Amino acid sequence: MPRPLSLHLMVVCAAALIAVDAGAQTPPLAQGGRSAWVIYREVDAPESVLLAATELQRVLRLSTGTELPIVDAPASPMICLGDNAAARDASVSAEGLPRDGFRTRTVGGSLYITGADLRDGEVQWIGWTSRGTLYGVYDFLEDIVGARWLMPGEVGEDIPAHHRLLLPDLDVEEAPDFEIRVLQDIQDEPPEALGDPEIVRRWMHAQRLPCKQFDGWPMGWGHSWDDYITEAQLAEHPEWRAIPANTDRRWTPARHSAVKYCTTNPEMLEAFADGVMKRLEANPRQISASISPSDGGAFCTCEDCAPSIVQDPHGSPSFSPLILRFYDDIASLVNERFPERQLPGYVYYNYMYPPEQVVEMHPNVWLVFYGLRYYGWGLAKPTYAAEFEDVVRGWRRFSDNMVYGSYTIWMRSFNGAIIPPPRAILKMELPISHEAGYRGATMVGLAAWGTGAPTNYVLARQTWDADLDVDTTLDDWMQRAYGPGWESMRDLYSLVEARLTAWKEQESIEYRGEQYEINYAVIDSVYRPVLGEIERLYLDALAKAETDSQRERLEMFGANLIQLHHDMREAGMIEGGEGSHFYRTDEHYAAWLEQVSATLAIASQRYPIWHGEWSG
C-alpha cells in the first residue's frame, strides 16, 4: 500500500542529511561529481524499463553532476532495474505484484527496483499496460533525490542539487489504490504549435499515471445507446422507443444520439445485445463495450417500465432500478458469447442515486458513478457534502466493479478565471471512494496549467494514494513552484477558493446546467470585487521569485489573469484598467494570445464571457 507523504519526506531527509548504516557500508550514490555505481537493465527489457534507466540516469546527473553509466551486465554496486535474473538472484522479483506495482530493496550493497512490467506485444487489452519498474524509479527519485514534477515540461521539474547523495536501507512495496486511473481534459493532446506531443504524457509517467491519449482507455463507458441499434431498426420497430413521462406517445428525438428505448422490451434487448456483441467481435483487443444510456432524461415510463421508477432522496423521479435491470439483462445475453468481456455503464443524471432495494448485478457489469448534481463544485453545497459518503457506499452494495467518475472540481472556464484547488472536496471524493472499495477513478482536471497545475497534481497523486495529506501536498507544491513568494500565492488561491465556495453554498441544490459555468454572474460576484487583491498578491509573489523556473511558472499563472482582465473589459465589467499589470491593448492582446495559445498556460478555447449556460 502507498505510504503517507510524511513518511516519504522522512525518507528523503534521511537520505539527504544523515549517513545511515547502509550508506556507511556502501559508497554514496554520488559525491563531488563522482560515483562508483552503475545502472543495469537487460538490453531487451520492456520499453518502460529502458525508459526508467534513462530517466534515472538523467535525473541523477541533473541532481549530482554525475552520470551513472547504463550497462548491459550486472556489476557492483548497481541499481538493477526490472524483473531479471540478477534481481531474482537477490530474492527480489515482481511475483505477486498487481498491475503497475513495484518493489524497491537494497540487497548486498546494490539497489533493486523491480516492477510488474509488460512489453508492448504482451498487452492483451488496449489501455491495460503495466509499468511498475518505471513507477518505482520515479518513486525512488522523489524519496531519495527529492525530485518533483510539478507540471509538464522542463519548467515543471524541481530537482534538488546534492553534493553527496546517500542510499538508505530500503524495503518498499507499493501498488496503486485504484487499478483504473484516468485523468483527462489536461491538454494531454497539447497544442500542435507546442511541438512536443508527449509533454503531458511524460508528466503523467512521473505521477504513475497512464495517458489515455497514447495508451487508450482501459474501459469505454461513454454514452452509447445509439451505437447498437440503427435508425432503420427503430423505423421498423417503433415500439422499441421510450414513452417518456407526461405523454402516451413514443418519443422520437431530433438527434439519434439522444435516443431512449423501452428497456423492458424483450426484442429490443435482444437487438441491443446483438449490436454489443458485433462491436466486441470487431474489436478483439478492447476489454469492454459501453452500455451507458445516451445523455439526458426522457426514459421510458410505459406500464412495463413504470414499476422500476422510484423517487430519489430529493423527491425527483429516479430511474436507477430501471437502468440497473437493463444492464443486467444485456450482460446476461452478452455473457453467453463473451464471458471474459466487461460491460461498463453509467449511474448518472436521473439515475445517480442508488435505490434502497439491492439489485444483484451480473459480474461482467461495471458501474461508473458520475454524480451530475455534484458537478462544478457541487460538493461545496452542504446538502450534497452531507449525503456524498452514503451515496458512494450505497452504490458499492450493487457491484464489486465500481468506478468513481468526477467533474466535481472542474468548471467550464474559457476566460482565464482561476479555479483553485478545492481542499474540502479533494479530501472527500477519492478517499471515500477508495475506502468504499471502488476499483477505478476517472477524474476531470483543469486544462489551464498556469492556474490548474496544483489541482491536477493532487488529483494525479490521489489516484495512486487516495489517502495522501492534501494540505501538505499542496503546500509542498506551492513552495516548490513559487519559491519565496509561495505564501502570497497560497493566499491568492485561498481567497478565490473561499469566494467560490461561498457562491456555491448559496446556490440552489436543484440541478441546472449553468451551475458548472464560470459565466458572467460568477465572474461578477466571485472575481470582480477582489481583482485588485488578486493582482497585489500575484505581484508580491512575482517580485520574490528567485529562479527562472519560479518566474516562468508565475508568468503562466499571470497569463490567465491577462486573459481574464481583457475579457472582463470586453464585457464591460472593467472601465479603463490601463494601470493594471494585466492590461493589454486590443492589438497587443491579439498578438499575445497567439503566442500563449501555443503553450499549456491557458485553456485553448477563446469565447467572450457568456450569460447563463454555455451554448458553444
Instruction: Report the pLDDT value the prediction gives residue 103, as an integer from 0 to 100.
Output: 98
Axis-axis angle for helices 132-140, 199-206 (nearest 10): 80
Non-local CB neighbours of 235 within 8 Å, separated by 6+ positions: none
Query: 378 burial class (0-12, 13-18, 19+ CB within 10 angstroms)?
Result: buried
* Banded pLDDT at 28 (limits 50, 70, 90): very high
Q: Is the pLDDT of residue 440 over 70?
A: yes
* Banded pLDDT at 604 (limits 50, 70, 90): confident
Instruction: Report the pLDDT value the prediction gives residue 435, as an integer from 0 to 100.
Output: 98
DSSP 8-state code for residue 268: H
Instruction: Report the pLDDT value the prediction gives residue 427, as an integer from 0 to 100.
Output: 98
Task: State what percent of residues in the chain have pLDDT above 70.
Answer: 96
Task: Name the class of domain 5-175.
Answer: alpha beta
List pLDDT tens digits, range 407-433.
Answer: 999 999 999 999 999 999 999 999 999
List pLDDT tens digits, range 274-312.
Answer: 999 999 999 999 999 999 999 999 999 999 999 999 999
Q: Is the pLDDT of residue 1 over 60?
A: no
Length of the chain: 616
Grid coordinates representing 207 are 505521477
Query: 95 burial class (0-12, 13-18, 19+ CB within 10 angstroms)?
Result: exposed
* Banded pLDDT at 11 (limits 50, 70, 90): very low
Closest C-alpha to 204, from 223, 231, 176: 176
Peptide bond into 339 cis (omega under 30): no
Mean pLDDT, the chain, integer: 94
Spatial separation of the C-alpha atoms in residues 36 and 30, rounded to whole Å: 8
* Banded pLDDT at 25 (limits 50, 70, 90): low
Comma-separated ranges of CATH 3.30.379.10 domains in the chain: 5-175
Q: Is the pLDDT of residue 24 over 60?
A: no
Grid coordinates representing 407 are 467533474
Spatial separation of the C-alpha atoms in residues 507 and 517, rounded to whole Å: 13
